Structure 1
Amino acid sequence: MSPVTIVSDSTHSMPPELLATLGIPQVSLYVNHGTDTHRESEMDLQAFYDRLRADSKLPTTSQPSIGDFLAVYCPLLEAGQDIVSIHISGAISGTVETARQAAADALGRFPDRTIEVVDSRNVAGGLAMIMLAAVAARDAGGTPAEIAARTVEASGQTRIWFAVDTLEYLRKGGRIGTAAAWVGGALKIKPILTVNGEVEPIERVRTSSRAFQRLVAAMDELTEAGQTAWVIQHIQAHADAERLAEEGRRHFGTEPMLVSEIGAVVGTYAGPGLLGVGGLPPALVGR
């Protein structure tokens, strides 16, 4: 059996050191400020969020090209690796479809190899958890098909909640999904949202403190559902993320799989102040 490499894109929000430890190459999305284009994987997040707050117009984002994927896939295939490539929800970005096109091209050049492309139906911390499930299957010696199946299973069992300061960034960026029904007076509230393929609304609260408590209550829901392998996500909310992580340690009795800041592509549409918690069954990530 050939060794398997897991590939993802830069919207997973894993800390770079964890990504390196797990041996996961990534294909970067892009952020465009006017005529300036930047790879998300190379951006200074503090500088990006400072500019996002100051600019009246949102930057745009763009998916990787087929060539970007081939630059990652082909050296792996040439080295005798098979690939499981896991990506941001196809309802949010065309990245996974481009990955499928690149896989077909690459397999035309390396017909004896295998590439499984999986739509995670999630993003950021949700995508990270699904990737960790794939890593567990890889490390247990799974075939590409088995790792892909574990990835799809994890996608169906991953839950994530996040609170944003405003829906304005999602509205301006066109990524608001079914939460569009809240646009209007809801721009003044603190929405609690989830990702199920696309962004979906959970409930509305009036203050940041109530949003925090709703995320703590979500930990109880995760516990009841047996989804106790957990992560914390944030955007420019380091202190609140650590407070929420402390609550998680008390609720779950374990350390989080990761506490990390969301990158520039998702951050363009979510905006500073996001705070989130998510979980999936620990058996899926080998815990």
Structure 2
Amino acid sequence: MSIKLFADSASDLPLSYFEDNQVSLIPLRVYIDEAEYEDLKTIHPKQVFQEIRAGKMPKTSQPSPQDFHEIFTEIARSNQSGIYIAFSSALSGTYQTAVMVHEQIKEEYPDFDLTIIDTKCASVGFGLVVKAAAELLQKGATKEEIVQDIEFRSQHMEHLFTVEDLDFLARGGRLSRASAFLGGLLNIKPLLHVEDGKLIPIEKIRGKKKLLKRILDVMEERGVDLENQLIGISHGDDEAAALELKSLIQERFGTKDFYINMIGSAVGAHAGPGTLAIFFLNKKK
């Protein structure tokens, strides 16, 4: 039985990745004024950041139950096996909706073989989990091997990031334990991470130089074999900052492999321009 991989656009991989690597894209929705867009398919992240800079406040929503129903029914009818790798359930209802639709379809197709995994990851951290799964599929791994790898990476993926304006995260309800961080952030840079799928502030740091050094310090505290890992970096339309962080990581840890991409439209609508994030494993098999 062939295996189909699915992932949603909050993995912040480019559209070309999905087209070239046997991964089916499930796009989240982005709304600007009265217009509705499908993340990656009908809107590019750069447009979202440009709209935010122009004073617009994009909104987002998860894929509709109908979207999942059509995709999952097609797999059930074709008697294929599927794995849906999902955005953190603490940040979106996408995972819960997929589970609900899966249960409905199994009433009609009781042998439907679909595994849905809540990665509790976001952005390129989520994307690194998807990339590893796709590589295993291409190498002929079994479904059990792929699922085990997804679960391991999801549990051990570190997210460290900073944003230009915490108000974006606060307004969207994506930020936890943030009250002490809001307001009066003149040259104060927040450092956050993901804990059990939620966005959690760690500390406030004055100045970009100190912030980047602190990110590297935390990487050293939490990471393992950073020289030989694939390190992910995502940015809110600020490639220069991403490349600066890459250079600092190379200099300190000797890291060889990086995956750098702009934050996608759905995640970017909440994180805002100037966001900078780093992703790495805190444990290796």
**TM-score, with length taken from structure 1:** 0.88
Distance 1:134 1:187 in 2: 42
Distance 2:38 2:248 in 1: 34
Give the aligned partner of residue 85 of structure 1: 84
Match of 1:253 among 249, 255, 258: 255
The answer on 1:51 being equivalent to 2:66 is: no
> What is the number of equivalent residue pairs in this alignment?
280
Give the aligned partner of residue 235 of structure 2: 234
More helix by share: 1
Most deviating of 19-28 and 128-137: 128-137
SS in 1 for 2:112: coil
Amino acid paired to 1:60 = K
Contact 1:77 1:113 in 2 (8 A): yes
Distance 1:19 1:248 in 2: 28
Amino acid paired to 1:10 = S
CA RMSD across the alignment? 2.2
Alignment of 1:103-114 (within 5 A): 103-114=102-113
Percent identity at matched positions?
27
Structure 1 gap segments, 5+ residues each = none
Distance 2:208 2:243 in 1: 15
Distance 1:253 1:152 in 2: 24
Is the alpha carbon distance of 1:282 and 1:21 closer, same or farther for their aligned partners in structure 2, counting shifts above 3 Å? farther
What is the CA-CA distance between 1:188 and the residue it aligns to? 5.6
Give the aligned partner of residue 152 of structure 2: 153
Give the aligned partner of residue 270 of structure 1: 271
Alignment of 1:1-287 (within 5 A): 2-41=1-40, 42-55=42-55, 58-186=57-185, 189-196=188-195, 197-223=197-223, 225-226=224-225, 228-250=229-251, 251-256=253-258, 258-280=259-281
Most deviating of 265-274 and 37-46: 37-46
Deviations 1:56-110 (A, max 9, x none): x522211111111123223333333211101111111100001111222333343
Most deviating of 242-251 and 258-267: 242-251
**TM-score, with length taken from structure 2:** 0.89
Distance 1:211 1:155 in 2: 26
Is the alpha carbon distance of 1:136 and 1:44 closer, same or farther for their aligned partners in structure 2, counting shifts above 3 Å? closer
Contact 1:249 1:255 in 2 (8 A): no
Distance 2:69 2:81 in 1: 14
Is the alpha carbon distance of 1:243 and 1:269 closer, same or farther for their aligned partners in structure 2, counting shifts above 3 Å? same
Distance 1:154 1:199 in 2: 18
Contact 1:115 1:144 in 2 (8 A): no
